[in-house]
């Protein structure tokens, strides 16, 4: 379980329908509009509410900013890559979106939302240096985290090699790529690899890719946000499929 601290963080978790096990409210905490909403939403969602001594929250708090409210979140049920590959078995068209050390939970949730909308078979992340599934991720996913297989594996490069063995082309997104998404072979079974927000694709990840692509641009700024870019590239894969059918 992971702990969520503070009134705003707890209410955002409830609003985003993040699965919570229990909410703790310090005894003697003065009610206000936010606390009233926390209690109401918890009761509507069937989340247990416990009134506890403030010293208990002080002891549990990592940051000392609990504001009299904390919550226990249920651990996110990550899948394994095997489950994603099993779902895609026998398909001539399949998309997996792999995230190479993307650390912003909002971007993670937005990419999972895109994956659900375009019909991807799953999203793949590494265990280390990857965004946690936080209230912000649930919020930006707009419910998609409940429907998409989010696979977590210890070694992204090794996982990409397994995808190759399963008949996927590994396509890395890079603003320095020579070919654009319109020219690239984005048909069939594709793993779309998105690099980190600041550094892009890691060297070993890039070397594992079969080809690199970029989005064409007419403006002057450097590039899109990683979640926006993932959406544009995923829709190009979806468009190619509609042309094939």
- 96-127 pLDDT, tens per residue? 999 999 999 999 999 999 999 999 999 999 99
What pLDDT score does 15 carry?
A: 87
Q: Are 102 and 130 in contact (CB under 8 A)?
A: yes
- The pair of structure tokens assigned to 112 is 């999972």
Give residue-wise pLDDT tens across range 34-49: 999 999 999 999 999 9
Measured between alpha carbons, how far is 197 from 214 in angstroms, rounded to an integer? 15
pLDDT in tens, the chain (245 residues): 468 888 888 988 898 888 899 999 999 888 889 999 999 999 999 999 999 999 999 898 877 778 899 999 888 899 999 999 999 999 999 999 999 999 999 999 999 999 999 999 999 999 988 998 988 888 889 889 988 999 999 999 999 999 999 999 999 999 889 999 999 999 999 999 999 877 889 999 999 999 999 998 887 776 788 999 999 999 999 998 876 65
Q: Please, what are the domains in the chain? A: 2-73 (3.30.1330.30), 81-244 (3.40.1280.10)
Q: In 3D, which of 92, 96, 150 has the Cα closest to residue 126?
A: 150
């Amino acid at each position: 379980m992971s702990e969520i601290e503070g009134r705003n963080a707890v209410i955002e978790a409830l609003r985003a329908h993040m699965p919570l096990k229990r909410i703790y409210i310090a005894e003697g905490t003065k009610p206000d509009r936010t606390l009233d909403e926390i209690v109401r939403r918890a009761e509507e969602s069937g989340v247990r509410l416990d009134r506890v001594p403030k010293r208990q929250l002080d002891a549990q708090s990592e940051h000392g900013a609990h504001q009299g409210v904390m919550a226990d979140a249920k651990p996110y049920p990550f899948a394994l890559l095997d489950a994603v590959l099993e779902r895609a078995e026998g398909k001539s068209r399949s998309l997996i979106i792999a995230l190479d050390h993307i650390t912003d939970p909002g971007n993670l949730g937005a990419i999972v939302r895109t994956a659900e909308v375009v019909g991807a078979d799953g999203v793949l992340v590494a265990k280390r240096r990857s965004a946690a599934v936080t209230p912000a991720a649930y919020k930006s996913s707009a419910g998609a985290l409940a429907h998409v297989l989010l696979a977590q594996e210890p070694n992204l490069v090794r996982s990409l090699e397994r995808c190759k063995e399963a008949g996927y082309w590994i396509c890395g997104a890079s603003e320095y790529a020579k070919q654009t998404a319109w020219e690239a072979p984005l048909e069939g079974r594709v793993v779309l690899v998105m690099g980190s927000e600041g550094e892009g694709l890691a060297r070993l990840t890039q070397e594992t890719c079969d080809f690199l692509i970029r989005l064409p641009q007419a403006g002057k700024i450097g590039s899109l946000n990683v979640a926006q870019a993932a959406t544009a590239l995923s829709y190009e894969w979806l468009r190619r499929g509609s042309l094939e059918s």
